[in-house]
Structure 1
Amino acid sequence: MDAPRPRTSHQRKYVGTGDFLTVVAPVAVQARAKAFGATVNGEYVLLSPKPLKVDENGLRFHGTAAYARPNQLALFEGTLLALNGMAIRRDGGEFGISASQQANGTLAGRIVGRSGGTIRLTPPVGFDTSRCQVKVNGAVVPHKLESGAIRFNVHISQSEAPKSYTIIAGQ
């Protein structure tokens, strides 16, 4: 019979009122509390019951819930999320949006929400916006270029499944 394995987990008990974030990971993580939420291994978790405006060290955020790491952004509730030049902005509507740069350079993300609006995505440095192509659920949609950002409308309702989009750099 094998000997019992030593316990390797850490346990903590919190008593009191209020919310807290629990991170469960298969390896040790470096988590640091911040006024906007936390950094976990250098990635940003932004959570607040009240709308925040954050502008520090290449991170910009207007909203209550988001996640960011280099070339990957997810804006759950808010109007702006930017990290190191890449940015997503929601104008109008009530929806969340993600954006990530794929290995081949294409930008891809998902959209889910109650009502549509306009997305303005500022791609990472080096992405060629001239002659770029935007597709939502595989269909090409019209877009405009404004001050380095790609602007396109999205139509979504709560009864619809999440939509996927891709933006292919100019050819």
Structure 2
Amino acid sequence: MSAGNSWVLERQRPQALQIRLAIPADVARIFAIRTAVCENHLSMQQLAKLGITEQAVLELIHTQDCTWVAEAAGCVLGFAIADHAEACVFALFVKPQHEGQGAGSALLHQAEQSLFQTQAHIWLETSIDSRAAQLYQRRGWQIETLLPISTEGRSAGPQDAVFVKHRPAA
């Protein structure tokens, strides 16, 4: 992605928000954000069990243009990862203290635009009770499937759903 494809959102904030491709130096920040969130929280150990490691994200950064960060005043506020092979928004997380300030919307827009270059339909999965689900629905995503509640050895949490979005007509 060239610098010309990066976009800036300046709505109701003193600092410009920039969306840019992640670089290797962002990996530690990405994991700090991922493990700091309140909703859908996972520890480094839980992420590693799922194959989500610093090395795996570093490999994505080196081999694919699919990982972005939202940055303002030199501070990384959130990140998104698109999985082009699966046509999905694999991850989108914002630092809790920066939620509701536009970083999530800007990252979602970037991931959608990237996926819609090659896909007519894209999807993601999240809890139907989350703030993220509300964001996705405001941005035109629709619930396609409610997933069975899985306890996996712990008490049942909120129900997850698959959300879909179709490429807008040209």
> Could you say which structure has the greater relative contact order, defined with CA pairs below 8 angstroms and 6 or more residues apart?
2
TM range (shorter): 0.3 to 0.5
Normalising to structure 2: TM-score of the pair? 0.34
Comparing both structures, which one devotes a greater share of its residues to strand? 1
Normalising to structure 1: TM-score of the pair? 0.34
Comparing both structures, which one devotes a greater share of its residues to helix? 2
Larger radius of gyration: 1
